[in-house]
């Protein structure tokens, strides 16, 4: 089993001091990169500038950026700024459309190809977030890495198998929400409920795909409760098994097993968004995951 890269996803809306503190913990724990804000590069750039000024080697990424949110000229300006801030350690991940009608694919694919060329020219590996096999197959023609946000082990393995026919398939990274301790499921359940019910939330399309395949009625139950404004009921409707399938949660042995399972499914890296609680602040959650990741690496060796 290969060693997986590890990345930390910094939460949207975090303060500069929070970004710096969480990044310092990630550096201490051997993370390879941090990613800022799943909104736009416009909001990510100031945060990345602060991190570039306080770090020396860790990778700094902006994403997930909607594919159609950047013109060529604007993207060139953004890439120039990011490369000046942290030369040789910048990442940029695009979020791709999730409904790909046949008639829309040529223009969609062409735009990704054009932007990926610009990204490569700036010395940055082009990365795209995808939700399922058809999107991954199309994007694989143009990018070096694929991000699966909230994907299960089974979906990761399915996409890996679909891409295996390619001569040089892109590497796959799985980005998951993370919580530890006895209250981990309750911490993550509202996060997963929102992902199921709200279009535009990162991982929405992936969550719907997994729910429709394996959890009959779950999507309707959660969406109905959200539509009534009953967020508590929407949260209660999410079963433990769905949270466990689409997040990192549990104790050290469970986390180690999950890291190992994603590696065996074909992932080359994992990214985590750490959710703390009264007992486990985010820095301790990051430390717990790093220990589990180290244990999986030791097992592999």
Rg of the chain in Å (alpha carbons): 18
Peptide bond into 64 cis (omega under 30): yes
Q: What is the dihedral of CA 184, 190, 195, 196, to 10 degrees?
A: 110
Q: Which of 288, 290, 293 is nearest to 260 (CA)?
A: 293
Max CA distance (Å), the chain: 51
CATH number, domain 5-184+247-300, options 3.20.20.30, 3.40.228.10, 3.50.50.60, 3.40.50.10320: 3.20.20.30
d(CA 21, CA 272): 16
Give the per-residue pLDDT at 211.
97
User: What's the pLDDT at 147?
Assistant: 97
Asked if residues 48 and 86 have their Cβ atoms less than 8 Å apart, the reply is yes
**Residue whose C-alpha is closest to residue 137's, from 114, 112, 103:** 112
Q: Where are the domains of the chain?
A: 5-184+247-300
Beta bridge partners of 290: none
Distance of CA 192 to CAs 6, 49, 103, 236, 283, Å? 22, 31, 32, 11, 21
Model confidence, pTM: 0.93
d(CA 61, CA 91): 4
Task: Look at residues 116, 117, 118 and name the one whose alpha carbon lies nearest to residue 128.
Answer: 116
Tokens of 51: 């991190």
Closest CA to 267 of 165, 109, 157: 157
pLDDT of residue 106: 53
- Under a CB-based contact definition with an 8 Å cutoff, are residues 237 and 218 in contact? yes
Q: Is 17 exposed, middle or buried (0-12, 13-18, 19+ CB in 10 A)?
A: exposed
What CA–CA distances, in Å, run from 88 to 6, 91, 105, 136, 234? 18, 9, 32, 26, 44
Per-residue pLDDT of the chain (301 residues; tens, 9 = 90+): 568 999 999 998 888 999 999 999 999 999 999 999 655 555 788 899 999 999 999 999 988 787 777 677 878 887 888 888 898 999 999 888 765 444 555 567 888 898 899 999 888 999 999 998 988 998 999 999 999 999 999 999 999 999 998 999 999 999 999 999 989 999 999 999 999 999 888 899 999 999 999 999 999 999 999 999 999 999 999 999 999 999 999 899 999 999 999 999 999 999 999 999 989 999 999 999 999 999 988 765 5
Helices (H), the chain: 16-28, 41-54, 72-85, 105-121, 133-139, 153-163, 184-197, 204-214, 218-227, 231-236, 240-246, 252-264, 282-300
Residues 138, 109 contacting (CB under 8 angstroms):
yes
Burial 100-138 (b: 16+ CB within 10 A, else e): eeeeeeeebbebbeebbebbeebebbbbbbbbbeebbbb
């Amino acid at each position: 089993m290969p060693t997986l890269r590890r990345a930390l996803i910094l939460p949207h809306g975090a303060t500069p001091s929070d970004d710096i503190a969480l990044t310092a913990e990630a550096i201490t724990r051997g993370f390879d990169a941090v990613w800022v804000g799943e909104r736009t590069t416009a909001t990510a750039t100031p945060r990345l500038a602060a991190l570039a000024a306080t770090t020396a080697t860790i990778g700094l990424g902006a994403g997930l950026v909607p594919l159609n949110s950047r013109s060529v000229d604007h993207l060139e300006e953004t890439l120039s700024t990011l490369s000046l801030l942290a030369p040789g350690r910048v990442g940029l991940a695009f979020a791709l459309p999730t409904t790909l009608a046949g008639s829309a694919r040529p223009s969609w694919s062409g735009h990704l190809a054009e932007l990926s060329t610009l990204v490569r020219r700036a010395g940055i590996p082009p990365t795209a977030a995808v939700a399922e096999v058809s999107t991954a197959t199309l994007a694989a023609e143009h990018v070096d890495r694929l991000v699966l946000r909230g994907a299960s082990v089974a979906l990761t393995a399915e996409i890996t198998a679909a891409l295996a026919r390619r001569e040089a398939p892109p590497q796959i990274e799985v980005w998951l929400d993370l919580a530890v301790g006895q209250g981990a499921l309750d911490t993550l359940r509202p996060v997963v409920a929102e992902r199921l019910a709200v279009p535009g939330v990162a991982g929405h399309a992936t969550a719907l795909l997994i729910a429709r395949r394996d959890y009959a009625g779950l999507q309707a139950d959660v969406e109905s409760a959200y539509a009534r404004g009953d967020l508590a009921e929407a949260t209660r409707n999410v079963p433990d098994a769905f949270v466990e399938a689409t997040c990192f949660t549990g104790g050290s042995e469970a986390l180690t097993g999950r890291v190992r399972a994603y590696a065996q499914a074909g992932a080359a890296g994992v990214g985590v968004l750490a959710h703390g609680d009264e007992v486990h602040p985010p820095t301790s959650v990051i430390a717990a995951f790093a220990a589990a990741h180290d244990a999986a690496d030791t097992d592999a060796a």
